[in-house]
Amino acid sequence: MKLDAHVHTVASGMTTIWPLNLLMRESYNTPEGVYRLAKARGMDLVAITDHDTIAGALKLAHRPDVIVGCEVTAMFPDSPSAVHIGVLDISESQHREIDRLRHDVRQLLPYLRRQGIFSIVNHVASQVNGCLSLDQIASLIPWVDAFEVINGSRLASQNCTAASLAHAAGKVAMAGSDSHTGRGIGRTYTVVDGARCREEFMDGLRNGRARVGGRHGHWLTMASDMLRLAGRFYEEAAIELWQEPLNWKKHALAAGAAIGAPLVTIPLLGAVGHFIEEARFNRRLLFDLVSAPAPGGLTVAGLSEAA
């Protein structure tokens, strides 16, 4: 059975990029749209993993081929960095407790372990959620079940670093598109051979029987997603103006969007700059992994001991 284990919808809220967070959503995917597209692209199961909410996933939770998931923003105390922990197959009560504990990763991870919740470190070699240090990565290893080793929105080199970490630590390898638009849904996936239902798929993950496949990301996919998000923003603004033609705020938004239309070319340059920085962070992380002394730091050779 195949699953794209990392997908976002409108439930993820507004983008975290300032000042776009005043206007633009993190994703314009609808839960039903994600479901249809994932199934059309060969996924046997569908998971929705919005940022810190399961509201989108719950709209489909009654279907036997849907897995309720979440991408949890877990904070390190006394640090500006956070780690994105993917969790799969959770209940509403579990999510409420996860949301309460996620502000301290030291409290969250033991809870996930006690509850038997399958946990994944997402895009570990990316600085999108802050530059994780070696000590922070090492602190995660005893508690998590898996690393995301193919993220369909990250560079192949970053995914290679994550795969090396997963292999050295003896963790399950997972893959997901990390799609915020429809482009990548179902193009990157995790497979559990022999599974015949959602429960057997999750058992396969917990028993380490997963394998991964699909596409990596690059600057063109990032630029494409940015342009798609901009297009959906304009579409939503036009629909709202049509529905509320007498609302002056909608007219002001439409006018501002029209004036700023030429700025949609900026994502092409922004994507290049973003991945230049991502590649630099990945190289620094690899260098630190190789050069850190085993007793006081984390090395690839010492990861199996940390696990």
pLDDT digits (tens, 9 = 90+) for 175-190: 999 999 999 999 999 9
pLDDT at position 301, please? Answer: 46
Q: What is the pLDDT of residue 258?
A: 64
Q: Which residue has the tokens 């990390």?
A: 178
Tokens 């036997």 correspond to 64
Q: Does residue 293 register a pLDDT over 60? A: no
Instruction: With CA atoms as reference, report the closest residue to 140 among 86, 96, 70.
Output: 86
Cα distance from N-terminal residue to C-terminal residue, the chain = 28
Of residues 27, 9, 18, 23, the one with CA closest to residue 226: 27
pLDDT digits (tens, 9 = 90+) for 197-233: 999 999 999 999 999 999 999 888 877 787 777 777 7
Placement of tokens 């940015």 in the chain: 226
* Whole-Å CA distances, 197 to 65, 146, 147, 186, 286: 7, 21, 23, 18, 38
For the domain made up of 2-217, the CATH class stated in words is alpha beta
State the pLDDT confidence band at 91, using cuts at 50, 70 and 90. Answer: very high
The token pair at 261 is: 């239309």
pLDDT at site 145: 98
17 contacts 57 by C-beta, under 8 angstroms? no
Which amino acid, 139? S
Among 12, 15, 58, 52, smallest CA distance to 35 is for 58
Question: Where do the domains of the chain lie?
Answer: 2-217
pLDDT at 304: 45
Q: 166-175 b/e with 16+ CB inside 10 Å = b?
A: bebbebbbbb
Peptide bond into 31 cis (omega under 30): no
* Mean pLDDT rounded to a whole number for the chain: 88
**In this predicted model, which residue has the larger pLDDT, 67 or 259?**
67
| Closest by CA position to 257, among listed 228, 288, 235, 280 | 235
Residues 6 or more apart in contact with residue 168 via CB below 8 angstroms: 300, 301, 303, 304
Number of residues written out for the chain: 307
pTM of the model: 0.87
Q: Which helix (H) or strand (E) holds 115?
A: helix 105-115
In this predicted structure, which of 30-34, 95-99, 166-170, 171-175 has the lowest mean pLDDT?
A: 166-170
User: 240 falls in which pLDDT band (50, 70, 90)?
Assistant: confident
Q: Looking at 45-49, 122-126, 194-198, 283-287, which range is the least confident one?
A: 283-287
CA 49 – CA 252 distance, rounded (Å): 33
Give the H/E segment covering residue 222: helix 219-243
Per-residue pLDDT at 244: 81
Strands, sheet with 45-48, edge to edge from the N-terminal-most edge strand: 172-176, 146-151, 118-121, 82-88, 66-75, 45-48, 2-4, 188-192, 210-214
Instruction: Give percent above pLDDT 90 in the chain.
Output: 65
* pLDDT value of position 236: 74
Q: Which two tokens stand for residue 43?
A: 């996924």
Strand 82-88 to strand 66-75: parallel, antiparallel, or no bridges (unpaired)?
Answer: antiparallel
